[in-house]
Every structure is written in C-alpha cells, then in structure tokens.
Structure 1
Amino acid sequence: MTRATLKDVAAHAGVSHQTVSNVLNGHPSIRPTTRERVLSSISALDYHPNQAAKALREARVTTLCFASFEHDPDTLSDPYRNLIQAALTAEANAQGYSLATAFLAHDEASLDELRQRYLQRSIGGAVIIGTRLQAAQWERMTSWGMNVVLLDHFLPGTPHTVSADYASGMRALVAHHVARGRRDLALVLPTRDYGSTALMRRDSFFAAAKAHGVRARHIDGDWSYASGERALLELHASGDLPDALLGGNDRMATGALSAAHGLGLSVPGDLAISGFDDFDFVQYLHPKLTTVRVPHAEMAREAARLLIALTSGEDCVTPPPYPVSLIVRDSA
C-alpha cells in the first residue's frame, strides 16, 4: 500500500499543505475546526510524517528571492525596479534574511531554474513583480510548495498580493486637470500586455473623464521615456494636440515633457503634463512634475514581511491596497 503523503492529507481535508504542516507543528493560529478536520484526515489516511525529511525541512532557509517576470536588460535602469529591490533588501536584512534575484520568462528554462533553487533550499520563497505574469506561471510556482507574494500585480485566485489603489489616484489626477480648466485629456499607457495595474489606470481614466464630461483618448506606450516622447510628437504631428497629457508613469511623462520643450510648447500654458509614481527625479525637472505618489518602498517592505511570515508557517491574508496621493507641482 502506498504511503500517504502530506499533500494527500491536504487534499483529503480540503486545506493547503502549509495548513497541514502547521497543524502537525502545533501552530497556534489554526482554527479549532480546521485542526479537527486535518487530524481526522491524518487518522483516516494513516499518515505518518517522514522524520528525516522533516528534519531537513526544518533547517531554516534565510535567503528570499526577488523575481522579475519578463524584465529585459533595458529595464535594469528603471527607477521602479531599483527602488523595489532596495526596499526588499533592506527589510529582508533587517529580519535576518538575504535577497537573491531571478529573471523569469514564459519559457520553461527560467521557471525550472527557479524550481531547482527552491527544491535545493537555496531560496525559501519569492516576491515577484511583472505585469505579464499569468496565472499558469503562478500556479506552477505554488505547486512546488513555494510561497509566492505578488507585488504590484493582481491575478485571480492569488491569495498573497501587495498593491496600491491606482484607481483612486487616476480619478484624483483627472479631477485635478479638469479643475484647472482642461477639457481634452490624453493618457499614455501600455496596455498591450494587459498588466492589471495598467488596465486599472486606463479604465479609471476613461470613467473619470466621462463623469466630468471631457474628451479622453489613449496612446499606447511601453513605460519608457522614449514612448512618452514619441506619444507627444505623434499627437503634435496629427494637429490634434490635447490640453493635458497624463503619463501612466513618471518616465513616460518625463519623455513627453522633453518633447514639449523641443517643440517649443509652454508647460503648463500650452499643455499640462502629469505623471504617476512620484520618483525623486521629478522634483528636479523643469517644470517640476505633478504626479501621483505611490508608496512603492512601503509596499515592497510589506511584501518582504508577508513572505517571511508565510515561510515561517503563519496564516496570512493580503493587505488592502495601499493609498496613493496627488502631488501638485508646476507642470499641471
């Protein structure tokens, strides 16, 4: 007769393998009804833990992984990614952990490499960023038993996500432009990869513009300075220039600001420009950039704390979206 495994017990009890492990280890966070159900399944299946494997598992792994999904080398200079990595490292170090990095793609090789690192206990879990991560990749990673926290991205069915309230930020930004007399708004934003936070910004932009009764249009970008610059040049060449351009992030807004200077446009006189992120450099642009502040560093620290709690066997829930705030400066 085949010996029952921990996963068999989890399936029989209708809980996660981590919950079964927590019951076996006497973790106090388990609800009494859940504990009884797991103990009943253990008895029904005549499950006996493999003590040798248990001893190996209990050796503490003190390295976490920061995994970027489909980030090409050009994005390594992105202030967003660098800020996230710095905050993750700081929080991990403060709690006695180190941080490794990984670059993932849709190919099997990168996921297999991550799996080997986890199974060999080189890493204890991963915080993942990347708007192109799909449910299939997330399901593969969690099927290994690895704890995964998604940062700044939403996927249906993922229980551990840390993100921000992008919708309210975009609503506030549109309201600000309208209050300043702008009636023709253009949004530069990449949506071809259908990243969840990009779609949230786009949908909120159109809904807010409709509510205010102003014109709204979308120009595709790719998060880069160059795509913001290109968007404004194309709008100018079309002869149908808006009176406000909203960058989906600060880099695209900065590219548009550069293009405006090159075209001899006055900002915000001829054209208001705003961004989304509030990275440090936007305070040193001319004019200083109006934007929405997203607490990326705080979110990254929370993701690290959440992952550490999960790898320690704690039952955790996804925190509510972090609030964002409108920062009004000179450009809009």
Structure 2
Amino acid sequence: MPTVTLKDVAQHAGVSHQTVSNVLNGHPHIRPATKERVLASIAALDYFPNQAAKALREARITTVCCVFYGHNPEDISDPYRNLVQSAFIAEAQAHGYSITTAFVNDDTGLTTLRQRFLQREFGGAVIVSTILTPDQAQIFQAWKMPVVLFDHALPSTMNVTADYPEGMATLVRHHATQGRRQLALIIPEEDLGSTSIRRREGFLQTCAQIDIEGIVVNGTWSYDSGYRVMQTLWTSDRRPDAVLGGNDRIGAGALRAAHDLGLSVPGDVAVSGFDDFEFAQFTTPSLTTIHIPHGDMARQAVRGLISLIDGTVPESRVFMLSLIVRESA
C-alpha cells in the first residue's frame, strides 16, 4: 500500500500543502472550517507525518498526556483517579513537563486524541485503564506514540502494575490465621481488566491452597455495592465469617452495612478492603486492607514515559504490595 503524503492530504482536502502543514503545526490563523476539512482528510487517509518523530527530538515537546481510557470523567469522587492524577502531575513537573488530561471512551475520543498528538500538543501518554485489550493497545503503537500502560499489564507495551495475586493471597492468609473459614470476595465479576482478574484469581487460588471456602460475589467498584452485597450475604444461607472488598470503597460499604445490621466487626464478621486509600484509616472500625503504592507506581510510569520520548526503552515494573492490619480484621 503506497505511503500517504502531505500532498495527498492537501489534494483530498482541496487546500495547499502549506495549509496542511500549518494545521499540523497548530498555526493559530487557520479558519475553523478549513482546519476541520484538513483533519477529516488526515483521518480518512490515515495520514501520519514522517516528520513527527524528528519534530519531537528537535523541538522537544514538554507536555505529556494522562489518558483515562474507559473512565467516567464525571466521577470526581474516585480516590484512585485523584491520587494517581496528582502523582502524575507532580512527577511530570519535577522533570520539567506539564500534564494534559484526556478521557477516551469511544472511537471519537480516539480520533480526537490522535489529532492532538499529530498536532504535537503532547509527546506521549500514560494510559490509565483496566479494560484496554491488546488490539486497542496496538492502536496507540501504530500511531508511533510513546505509551506507558498504568495499572494494566499487556505484552509488548511498557507497563507499570502491581502483584495483585500475591496481595490478595496475603489478605486471605491473614483472615485464615484469625480463624476465618468462610470467605466472600465482593468484586465485579464481569470486569475483564487484568487488575480485577488477577485479584479474583489470587483469592480463589489461595483459598483452594489452604483448604478454606471462598466465594466470589458480583458487585461494582462502589461504596453502594459493598453495602448492598453485604446485606444480601448476611440474609443468605451461607453467611461468611469474613468479607473482602475488591477495593476499599467496597470494604467501606460492607462496614456500613454491618453496622446497620447490628453486627460486631470483627466479632461477628471480619471485613477488609484492598488499596489503602486514606479514608480506610478513618472508617469505624478502621479498615484492614492491602496497601498499593499508587503514588510510586504513577511516578514510575511518568519516568518511563519520559525515557520513551527520549528514545530509551525502559523495562516494565511490577510493584509489591503489603498488608495493613487495622481494627476490622
């Protein structure tokens, strides 16, 4: 298939090649209708300017993008998003970079993101997503855009993640040493992201290895889900003696439900979370959980991205997790 050139784009859009160049370089005096027509031609012809990599080296773009793929931009209460985003910003600034943020949930969002990269608004991206598939990751690679995956492991793409199976195994073993024999994990079963899958696998495998009962109960990543599922569990025939939240929000919801049910925690039932967000130490009782070094992971991701932009290919990194024992378990 012949290479699409800048002149091909100009002919397709009915403009001069200089106009196309001005659009790509973000010239401020291009009429909106002309710019829209040129960008449509770039997308239709799948044009990628060969000079982009050279421009990155010679002009040195000092902005990187934090892309939340599949996240709800209106969920500003999400402690995970707020924590990692602030760490991205701080680390980028420490290296002389600024951060721009994008939320991508569909093909239109991908098109807009690519246009921004082609126009050199940023030099690379940290992709924050638990649902990104290998095929979707290859889209970014085809753009020749430096990319680091955060909290999601995929082959052939530099990524920063954590040892979730071992973290969950540590939590299960902790409950077992406290004499708990019927464990229930509340987590989204339909979530096919590597983070969720590896937490579920770590839970089930460890329960089987130490010969205790472990069931997975479907929920969402929310406080409300932990509350509702905990109430359902306690009215069922198979009451667990320990409830594990797939994250701290679920665990906090389960704690509140236990309180409303008149249960003693950890007397009647132990409750734990997973993440160690700041609020976990202020619940009543305080929440036993697994500490994930989100800040360190975010900083590592930004450093890895800057290395990619500078032409060095860093190795992927898996962070170890630790048990934080508090009052609830």
TM-score of the superposition, structure 1-length normalised? 0.82
Secondary structure at 1:200 match in 2: helix
- Structure 1 residues 100 and 55, CA gap change in structure 2 (3 angstroms): closer
Q: C-alpha separation between the residues in 1 aligned to 2:190 and 2:51?
A: 50
Deviation at 1:73, TM superposition (A): 3.9
Deviation at 1:55, TM superposition (A): 5.3
Moved more, 50-59 or 72-81: 50-59
* Equivalent residue, structure 2, for 1:137: 136
Q: Given residue 134 of structure 1, which amino acid in structure 2 is its aligned partner?
A: T
* Equivalent residue, structure 2, for 1:126: 125
Q: Does 1:95 align with 2:92?
A: no
Deviation at 1:232, TM superposition (A): 0.4
* Equivalent residue, structure 2, for 1:193: 191
Q: C-alpha separation between the residues in 2 aligned to 1:65 and 1:140?
A: 16
Percent identity between matched residues is: 52
* Equivalent residue, structure 2, for 1:110: 109
Q: C-alpha separation between the residues in 1 aligned to 2:167 and 2:214?
A: 17
* Contact kept? 1:293, 1:325, Cα under 8 Å: yes
Q: Does 1:165 align with 2:130?
A: no
* Equivalent residue, structure 2, for 1:261: 259
* Contact kept? 2:88, 2:298, Cα under 8 Å: yes
Q: Given residue 199 of structure 2, which amino acid in structure 1 is its aligned partner?
A: R
* Equivalent residue, structure 2, for 1:84: 84
* Contact kept? 1:293, 1:326, Cα under 8 Å: yes
Deviation at 1:327, TM superposition (A): 0.6
Secondary structure at 1:131 match in 2: coil
- Structure 1 residues 120 and 259, CA gap change in structure 2 (3 angstroms): same
- Structure 1 residues 55 and 184, CA gap change in structure 2 (3 angstroms): closer
Deviation at 1:56, TM superposition (A): 7.0
Deviation at 1:285, TM superposition (A): 0.9
Q: C-alpha separation between the residues in 1 aligned to 2:167 and 2:147?
A: 27
Structure 2 counterparts to residues 29-48 of structure 1, below 5 A? none
* Equivalent residue, structure 2, for 1:174: 172
CA offsets 1:145-200 (integer angstroms, 9 cap, x no match) = 10110000112x23300001111111111111000000000001113121101111
Q: Does 1:328 align with 2:325?
A: yes
Q: Does 1:306 align with 2:304?
A: yes
Deviation at 1:53, TM superposition (A): 8.1
Structure 2 gap segments, 5+ residues each: 6-49
Q: C-alpha separation between the residues in 2 aligned to 1:55 and 1:212?
A: 57
* Contact kept? 1:159, 1:317, Cα under 8 Å: no
Deviation at 1:237, TM superposition (A): 2.3
* Contact kept? 2:147, 2:157, Cα under 8 Å: no
Deviation at 1:308, TM superposition (A): 0.5
- The 4+ residue runs of structure 1 with deviation greater than 4 A are 50-53
Q: C-alpha separation between the residues in 2 aligned to 1:140 and 1:169?
A: 31
Q: C-alpha separation between the residues in 1 aligned to 2:93 and 2:100?
A: 12
Deviation at 1:72, TM superposition (A): 1.5
* Contact kept? 1:250, 1:291, Cα under 8 Å: yes
- Structure 1 residues 55 and 63, CA gap change in structure 2 (3 angstroms): closer
* Equivalent residue, structure 1, for 2:25: none
CA offsets 1:237-283 (integer angstroms, 9 cap, x no match) = 22422000000100000000011111111100001000001111111
* Equivalent residue, structure 2, for 1:154: 153
* Equivalent residue, structure 1, for 2:8: none
